Amino acid sequence: MYKLDLNELYFEFFIWGYDDITHEDITKLLNINPTMIYIKGKPMNPKMKILAKKNGWRIDNPLDNKSLFEDQLNAMLDLLEPKIEILQMLSKKYGCEYEFSLALFIYNRKESTPWVHLTPRYNEFIRQIEVEFDLDLYCPPDDEEMSETE
């Protein structure tokens, strides 16, 4: 076991709620390989019993999870902005819903809490494709240790 010493940000992009197109079709259209796919009615994770309520397609941020939020946001926008027309088509034709998900883990109370600023660039992107933003904040007790497998 070890004590985590730095706060972590997990920033991901999801496409949810499609039934008339496959995961593979979305991958080909966007020319981006997903980190994970979710199948409606199947477990969301092999370690969990929670079932996916909708079909889903997810990409994780290409940067390290200890990177600044602004850097992670810009890296994700670099991937997705060139795909705006495709994302707009997926939304109109297949009813896809989009979500940015940020899980913020505060392990070190001595380290500055990460800043989450949504920039004009982000605002323009979400205006064009109507992306929801989901923020989950986790603050385990100072004495909680994590195993290396968690």
Neighbouring-strand partners of residue 94: none
71 is a domain residue: yes
Neighbouring-strand partners of residue 31: none
144 is a domain residue: no
35 is a domain residue: yes
Q: Are strands 56-60 and 8-16 parallel, antiparallel or unpaired?
A: antiparallel
2 is a domain residue: no
Q: Number of structural domains, the chain?
A: 1
CA distance 111 to 6: 7
3 is a domain residue: no
95 is a domain residue: yes
Helix (H, G, I), strand (E, B) or coil at 53: coil
Model pLDDT for residues 73-85, shown as the tens digit of each residue: 999 999 999 999 9
148 is a domain residue: no
Question: Would you state the pLDDT for residue 148?
Answer: 45
55 is a domain residue: yes
Model pLDDT for residues 99-129, shown as the tens digit of each residue: 999 998 887 666 677 788 899 999 999 999 9
State the angle between helix axes of 23-30 and 84-94 in degrees (0 to 180), rounded to the nearest 10.
Answer: 150
Q: Which domain holds residue 113?
A: 8-138
Q: Is the pLDDT of residue 36 over 90?
A: yes
Cα 20 off chain centre by: 23
CA distance 34 to 20: 18
Query: Which runs of consecutive H residues, i.e. helices, occur in 1-138?
Result: 23-30, 69-80, 84-94, 120-129
